[in-house]
Amino acid sequence: MATRIDGKKVAADIKADLAERVERLKAQGIVPGLGTLLVGEDPGSVKYVAGKHADCQEIGINSVKKELPATATFEDIAAAVKDLNEDPACNGFIVQLPLPKGIDQNAIIDLIDPAKDADGMHPYNLGELVLHVRGDISTPLPCTPRGVIELLKAYDIDLNGKEVCVLGRGITIGRTIGLMLTRNAVNATVTLCHTGTKDVADHMRRADVIVAAMGSAGFVTPDKIKEGAVLVDVGVSRVFDEEAGRYRIKGDVDKACYDKASAYTPNPGGVGPMTRAMLLANVVEMAERHAMNK
């Protein structure tokens, strides 16, 4: 029977450890803080940001909230980023995406102080990840790829020498996870498949591990995977459930694959909780680095 990889449980264990580390920091007079910048009132973004601040409360770190209307200009948003860069109560922060239409998101991300980049997605930090293939990295790591690797590690799934097929080339997971999987510390061999890839199913059938991040509901089917593969489902699609009469979240992996796999992450309840836990981990690590440099 395939192992169900429980992201909620692993994330809870990580948050418990982070809470202890936060208490040790507080004993040194340092209170970690996570900042968020929310522009507009997109329901999904509002809910996601609220969840981040609930996580902060859970482990005992400060929340620094900045909110701007959807009519905010580039200059307004840039000024808010500058404030967070300079706020000593905020060790790290995120700019919640997407930003309103017409705002250059990449230009805003470029304005974040790399040392306060809680998402680990600033070009400087991605560049550090590219350069430091060997040894430790002291810059923030991308949350979702880090969450995937930590989740597999928690279940003793060794990626050393394994063939990993990544589906999707988005910056949040597809392109960035390859940088992390091919580091010496992980040592996997990665094939990145996308809309221009020929015979995607052939690549999938050779893979020991499939990381599906396409946003195409049920794309990974039993005929496309080999016996005993590990399936990591990062895709998110809203699919209308005729029987229930409402929309449901579905991943990229068809549940029929579970019987053929050796292990799988459910969706929801797999990678999602780990992404949020890794955001907290980045912030606590930023505070710990600050404590060491005092």
Residue ranges for the known binding site for NADP(+) are 168-170, 236
Residue 191 three-state SS: strand
Asked if 118 and 283 count as a contact pair (C-beta separation under 8 A), the reply is yes
Domain boundaries, the chain: 29-114, 143-273
Say yes or no: domain 143-273 is CATH 3.40.50.880: no
Domains 29-114 and 143-273 share a fold: yes
Full pLDDT tens readout for the chain, 294 residues: 899 999 999 999 999 999 999 999 999 999 999 999 999 999 889 999 999 999 999 999 999 999 999 999 999 999 999 999 999 999 999 999 999 999 999 999 999 999 999 999 999 999 999 998 888 888 999 999 999 999 999 999 999 999 999 999 999 999 999 999 999 999 999 999 999 999 999 999 999 999 999 999 999 999 999 999 999 999 999 888 888 888 888 999 999 999 999 999 999 999 999 999 999 999 999 999 988 876
CATH number of 29-114: 3.40.50.10860
Catalytic residue among 55, 66, 117, 119: 119
For residue 28, indicate whether it is catalytic: no
Sign of CA dihedral 178, 184, 186, 187: positive
Q: What is the pLDDT of residue 161?
A: 97
Catalytic residue among 96, 162, 208, 224: 96
